[in-house]
Amino acid sequence: MAIERRSITRVGDPAPDITLTALDGRRIGLRDFRGSRLVVFCWASW
């Protein structure tokens, strides 16, 4: 299986265009927050 070489997002780069599913089923993308300052907080139940 060929691996695509992908670049890593760093400070100064545009945020990745990622869309994830919320607990209520809505799809929310990082792009949806354009126009505001955003804090993304990643955590886990483990």
Partner 1 sequence: MWQQFVERNKETGVKLLSVAMDVQGPAKALPYVQKTKTTFPTVVDVENELGKAFNFKAIPNGIFVDEQGVVRYTKFGGFEIRKPEDAQRAEEWAKGKASAELAVMSQAEAAKGMKHPEALEFYDRGLVLYREGRVQEAVALWRKVIDVEPDNFIVRKQVWAVEHPERFYDGAVDFAWQREQMAKGQ
Q: Which residues bind partner 1 (CB under 8 A)?
A: 1, 3, 6, 8-16, 18, 20-23, 26, 28, 30-31, 33-46
Shortest Cβ distance from residue 35 to partner 1 (Å)? 5
Shortest Cβ distance from residue 14 to partner 1 (Å)? 5
- Identify the CA nearest to 33 among candidates 15, 21, 45: 15
Task: In whole angstroms, give the CA distance from residue 45 to residue 26.
Answer: 20
Task: In whole angstroms, give the CA distance from residue 14 to residue 31.
Answer: 10
